[in-house]
A and B are shown apart, each in its own frame.
Chain A
Amino acid sequence: MKHLRSIDELGADGIVRILKVAEHMAEVNRRPVPKVPALVGRTVVSLFFEDSTRTRISFETAARRLSADTMTFSVSTSSVNKGESLRDTVETVSAMGVAAFVVRHKSSGVPWQMANWTDASIVNAGDGWHQHPTQALLDCHSIVGAFGIGPSTSCLKGLVVTIVGDVRHSRVARSDIEAFTALGATVRLVGPRTLMPPDTRSWPVEITDDFDAVIGDSDVVYMLRMQRERMNEALVPHLGEYSTRFGLDGDRAARMKKDAVVMHPGPMNRGVEMMIDPSELPRSLVTNQVASGVSVRMAVLFDVLGGQEVVS
């Protein structure tokens, strides 16, 4: 695979392939010296037009553990602030000899536009409201680990995943829905109509605004981040009402299935969608998600750059 831009592009077989390689990478990460020479001499550039320290660090850690050279193109100190166009930035950095770009941009579609201007591989670290495929892959990795399932194209069959919150503006939700359903899960969306995409008739999901009605039979409760600026767009009356209807509090947590897990892509809004400390939950995968991130991103970089070294 040359690029990783969307889960659709990857497909169910691709997801399984990444998850299997990520298992090997997790083993590497448990070694005393967690580093292999798979990508020696290859350069990976993180091009973050939107701040995300945690995602950038996760990718850069992954690249270094595969022995790639890493560079960070930070927009705040770059020529972009002097009016350089996206195309010129990509072509200029590309000319330095780059194997892969890891790109984050606030505009949907930028990873596709970039592919017109460089021969390097492109890994999408989040574009607008559209896709965040490595997040979905690490979420799958976390779920598979938590339930002790081997990766396969039907490995989530029988699991009910309930995604709660602002799906409309969420690249995480779009990637997760594609990934979870590709692997056989039943996916349910919970939130007000104002926070759902305008037309979901073709989506393989159920949608409800009654969190209490569905929390009890969910195997995974996936809480999305609720951004405060949505208050200015008449999408919900106020944060308090949102929290009351769609926040995860102690009462709701108590009604979850015994072995159900809670997930969140971070960063959490304590007191908004998370009304309870995750450490008080019986099974929170929030920190597992972060740990899975490095292994999964190692697998993704290895995959797009066609790493030849044996990783065992």
Chain B
Amino acid sequence: MSILIRGGRIIDSTSTNDDGRAADVLIDGDRIAQILDAGSDARADTVLDATGCVVSPGFVDLHVHLREPGREESETIETGSRAAALGGFTAVVAMPNTEPPHDSRVVVDFVRDQGRRAGLCEVVPSGCITVGREGRTLAPFAELRDAGVRFFTDDGNGVQDALLMRRALEYAGQLGVTLAQHCEVSSLTHGAVMHEGACCSRLGLPGWPSLAEELMVHRDIELCRLTGSPVHFLHLSTERSVDMVRSAKAEGLAVTAEAAPHHFTLTDEALSGFDPTFKVNPPLRTPSDIAALKRGLADGTIDAIATDHAPHAPHLKEQPLDQAPPGMLGLQTALALALTELSMPLRDVVAALSWKPAAIAQLADHQGRPVAVGEPANVTVFDPNATWTIDRGHLASRSRNTPYHGRTVRGRVLHTVFGGRAVVVNGAATR
């Protein structure tokens, strides 16, 4: 099977500007076979029109909830993978809070295999830091590493015990894996529904103070300093968190960070109508937090845009606000929100969606690679200028909890090639 991507311009980690280079890309099997001058007369089994489009390495999402095993009413690995492919992702890191969670080889093997069966993108299982994500005893890091896991987190829960987190970093550092923290000091967020501030005060809802995140960011920066082991910060949401990570990086500490599109596009005021679609953890915050996240993305303090794609079936989100589970869809809207809301060079947006997260997840040998001869054929083609209106009824996820229903955005994925197969063509999944 050969694929010719015709008429686009390549932007990858070797690009020095946003113009990219006009070229046609010929894929043969699972590798890029030739980079041809634009307008070549090469032939292929499948020709993908990329006129006016950017051809980039496939996107890598460090943070998705695929719900399988255990919550298949909300999402399956197949439906989530389809949403990922439609969003331009060729790899997604599956969070461990499934039922059962990713704390044994059996579960991570199952998740990876289900991803292979779906064949729409690479599904990379993360591992738990603690058994059952309960924060009491360390998960079997070496067993999980031998099963291919390189990225460990108790996402959904922060590791509360500082000693346990220290031990985890010491132990994991020797194994060459990365720990990722969901920063939330839970004693400060008991029962919390939304950001603690003026809006929750008015709405009579228990607040989730920024401090609860910042205390743990601070603690883990210091644990990183103490142990020398890398720490990745999941879904940063506050101004001071960004500032602390910036300082830590300036000191040369091995910290990395991600931000989710909803945290740089929506504020706590979105909850004024009490719609649980807007409930997410950490919560939507304030305009100054949004500005800080945008600055952090622009100056590289925040390495990656990660969606925290969190599907929930309608009946779960229709509960009263304090009972509805937190989380929102993200895979199919991430690129468009980044292009619409961030005033960053295109190359930097693609970097935050592709090769930078690929490096954090230790996937850089086959994801986020340059679009060049001999490289694995994981390629995304998107039109950075196409506008479209987000419709929750037309998303591939099994759930519909997007907070962006009805919003018009700019930037659209047209084609996704994963492992040499065109899994998305003209905005539609082929499998």
- Chain A interface (Cβ within 8 Å of chain B)? 85-87, 105, 107-110, 112-113, 127-131, 171, 174, 197-203
Contact = CB atoms under 8 A, between A and B. Distances in A.
B311 interface: no
Interface string B306-336: 0000000001001111110000000000000
A87 B200 contact: no
A130 B207 contact: no
Q: A-B pairs with the 7 shortest C-beta distances? A: A109-B274, A129-B204, A107-B320, A130-B204, A197-B201, A112-B274, A108-B204
Nearest to A174: B204
Contacts, number: 66
A227 B315 CA distance: 33
B204 A171 contact: yes
Nearest to B206: A129
27 contacts: A85-B319, A86-B318, A86-B320, A87-B315, A87-B318, A107-B322, A108-B193, A108-B203, A108-B204, A108-B205, A109-B203, A110-B274, A113-B318, A113-B321, A127-B204, A128-B322, A129-B205, A130-B204, A130-B205, A171-B204, A174-B204, A197-B200, A197-B201, A198-B209, A199-B196, A200-B201, A201-B198
Per DSSP, chain B at the interface is loop
Contact of B273 (A110, A112, A129): A112
A199 B198 CA distance: 5
Contact of B320 (A109, A202, A203): A109
Interface of B: 193, 196-198, 200-205, 207, 209, 273-276, 315, 318-323
B321 A108 contact: yes
Nearest to B315: A85
A108 B271 CA distance: 11
Contacts of A87: 315, 318
A128 to B, nearest CB: 5
Give the interface SS of chain A, mostly helix, strand, loop or mixed. Answer: loop
B322 A108 contact: yes
Contacts of A197: 200-202
Contact of B197 (A108, A109, A131, A198): A198
Contact of A85 (B203, B318, B322): B318
A128 B200 CA distance: 12
Given A131-B204, A174-B204, A202-B198, 6 more contacts: A110-B320, A197-B200, A198-B207, A198-B209, A199-B197, A199-B198
B322 to A, nearest CB: 5
Nearest to B273: A112
A130 B205 CA distance: 7
Contacts of A129: 204-205
A174 B205 CA distance: 12
Nearest to A201: B198
A85 B274 CA distance: 17
